[in-house]
Structure 1
Amino acid sequence: MDSQPLDLVHHRNLPLLFLQARESVFARFKPILNTAGLTEQQWRVVRALLDHGPLEPRQIGDICRLSSPSLAGILARMDDLGLVLRERLENDQRRVRVSVTPKGQALAASLAPTIEATYRELENQLGVEFIAHLYTTLDEVIAKLGTAADSEDGNW
């Protein structure tokens, strides 16, 4: 039986390119987080809470692209470390609101100068205009394609 190879040469592997770009950028920030004893996922949660204020776990998962089971473990560890506070809502005891603790805020503040310097290095290497265009392009991709939950057909 003759098997025909898949004809994938008409398109570059866009998901792989996004992943490679993400890893290239994240490699600049990983040592900072490692030094602080934070995982990438923990930092995403802290940033989301600092950027948006207290959130419910579902909202954190949506923003940070973390599954509910993963997020439950991450929040439990962060609570144990004193970085976040989980409180039941008064009007609905089934719901929880998560906020950054003063310890979590202090940790973020201590990392801020190094993180800002890393952003400046990226701007110097890639150019301020390029970075601005990249933010705009990424925002457009996200707006036009939606979130992973919107289209989970798994086609690459």
Structure 2
Amino acid sequence: MTSKLPSTSRSLPIALIRAREGVMAPIREMLSETGITEQQWRVLRVLSEYGALDTTTLADRSSLLFPSLTRIASTMRDKGLITQTRDQADRRRQIIDITEAGQKIITERAAQSAQIVADFRITLGDENYETLLDLLAKLDPGSRD
């Protein structure tokens, strides 16, 4: 006996993928002039917000797999957007920090990025926007109680 699957129009995984594409389209457009990827943008955003971080924490806060961060960080270091140093207390740990060039990308796009968020808030309404973030956090295994 086969269980009846929900319509793809009411499938949570499919709805999340469609919503992600809708959310990312204006961000991709904003980044098209920068020469950086969405993942690199996330790394810069996190470093700009939190300051220097070890690679494990940075990968987690950037929603990247550790091996992906390793590859992305190498590219970003070569572009002069981040620095990588060894932790003085534990030489096995790498510390990554944003450079002036990396911060400049964030600063130059802060207003445009804020407008993208404002547009989503207008579309959803402030209360729905906050509720959506709260509901999505419940699906994040890293934020469950």
What's 1:103 paired with? Answer: 101
- For structure 1, the 5+ residue unaligned runs are 151-156
Matches within 5 A, 1:47-66: 47-66=45-64
Deviation at 1:93, TM superposition (A): 1.5
What's 1:153 paired with? Answer: none
Q: Secondary structure in 2 aligned to 1:106?
A: helix
Q: State the Cα deviation string for residues 24-75 of structure 1 (Å, max 9, x = none).
A: 1111211101111110000111111122221111112222222222111100
Matches within 5 A, 1:48-127: 48-127=46-125
Percent identity between matched residues is 32
The one-letter code of the counterpart of 1:8 is L
Q: 2:21 aligns with which of 12, 20, 23?
A: 23
Deviation at 1:136, TM superposition (A): 2.1
What's 2:131 paired with? Answer: 133
Deviation at 1:6, TM superposition (A): 5.0
What's 2:5 paired with? Answer: 8
Q: Secondary structure in 2 aligned to 1:36?
A: coil
Higher Rg of the two aligned structures: 1
What is the CA–CA distance in structure 2 between the aligned matches of 1:29 and 1:10, rounded to whole Å? 29
Q: How high is the TM-score relative to the length of structure 2? A: 0.87
Q: Secondary structure in 2 aligned to 1:97?
A: strand
What is the CA–CA distance in structure 2 between the aligned matches of 1:129 and 1:6, rounded to whole Å? 36
Deviation at 1:76, TM superposition (A): 0.4
- Runs (4+) of structure 1 moved beyond 4 Å? none
Distance 1:110 1:10, change over 3 A: closer
- For structure 2, the 5+ residue unaligned runs are none
Root-mean-square deviation (Å):
2.2
Q: Secondary structure in 1 aligned to 2:32?
A: helix
Aligned residues: 143
Q: Secondary structure in 2 aligned to 1:32?
A: helix
What is the CA–CA distance in structure 2 between the aligned matches of 1:111 and 1:139, rounded to whole Å? 26
Q: Secondary structure in 2 aligned to 1:136?
A: helix
